[in-house]
Amino acid sequence: MTGPAITQAMIDAYDEYTHLTLDRRGFMEKLTRLTGTAAAAAAIAPMLAANQARAAMVAEDDARLKGEDIAYPGGTGEMKGYLVRPADQSGKLPAVIVIHENRGLNPHIRDVARRIALEGFVALAPDYLSPLGGTPADEDKAREMFGELDPAQTVANGVATVAFLKSHELSNGNVGAVGFCWGGGTVNLLAVNAPDLKAGVAYYGAQPKDEAAVAGIKASLLLHYAGMDERINAGIDAYKAALEKAGKDFQVFVYEGAQHAFNNDTSEARYNKAAAELAWGRTIRFLKEKLG
């Protein structure tokens, strides 16, 4: 006997829980009503969530790469992060900041940084929870900590990360950024606040609300959105209008039928292989074109 199918209402309930309420008890009660039983809800919840036990696409000890945990100067204090590069690097390479979701610097984002490095970049995945002691193992605790971050400090730490990579001995000085969910919104804010950022790729990220701030963007932008992501997609038109009005270099792609977090292959219910692979190919081509 099979359990109930995962419905859009269940996915929406999970999205509301992880991005708005952070109320796990309320989420499980709603999921129980949607599935019919507590047992079914308990079975489906892990399918909606990210499972860090799922195999990485690029192993941590892949011989083609050199990776290390580092500390570097942030905007108002020390930042920690994961720096990875091709093992056979002989000259300077373009650099890419990989910005995590609202779960912090976890194994999945480290894996994404390795994927970026294999494409010929120096990749740095910062831990934006560094001011609070760093990303904890407990995913629910990590989500709660994002509400404690000082937004101005977060922006300052992003700008400092761009400066760190621009002058890094392994970098050719051209810095881009790619971010997912919370990280996608952070890429948009980084573009607004860091004139030295040359390219930004935002996956289903919240848009800047200030049209005047958008006018100051220097970076080229590639914006990926999920067709089923009503919460984030509500801001697309205004952002496009502001970017067009300011004459910015940007591209927008909406992946019809895809859910928020469609790129995260550790989330069984929301991962969309076709959309993820199409967006990833576009991302790598864009970064290579804009960063050299």
40 and 169 together in one domain:
no
Q: Domains in the chain: how many in total?
A: 2
Q: Would you say residue 187 has pLDDT above 80?
A: yes
14 and 149 together in one domain:
no
Q: Report which of residues 48 and 205 the model is more confident about.
A: 205
139 and 38 together in one domain:
no
136 and 31 together in one domain:
no
13 and 75 together in one domain:
no
Within-domain flag for 101: yes
Within-domain flag for 57: no
What's the pLDDT band for 1 if we cut at 50, 70, 90?
Answer: very low
29 and 161 together in one domain:
no
- % pLDDT > 70, the chain: 97
Within-domain flag for 77: yes
232 and 150 together in one domain:
yes
210 and 267 together in one domain:
yes
Within-domain flag for 1: no
Within-domain flag for 58: no
What's the pLDDT band for 100 if we cut at 50, 70, 90?
Answer: very high
Within-domain flag for 71: yes
Q: What is the CATH number of the domain that holds 148?
A: 3.40.50.1820
Where is average pLDDT lowest: 51-60, 148-157, 164-173, 208-217? Answer: 51-60
Structure tokens at 235: 């801001």
Mean pLDDT of the region 199-209: 97
Within-domain flag for 93: yes
- The pTM score is 0.88
17 and 150 together in one domain:
no
135 and 40 together in one domain:
no
97 and 39 together in one domain:
no
Mean pLDDT of the region 157-184: 98
Tens of pLDDT, residues 65-78? 999 999 999 998 99
Q: What is the largest CA-CA distance in the chain?
A: 59
160 and 224 together in one domain:
yes
What's the pLDDT band for 226 if we cut at 50, 70, 90?
Answer: very high
Q: What average pLDDT does the structure give for the chain? A: 92
Structural domain boundaries enclosing 260: 65-291
Within-domain flag for 55: no
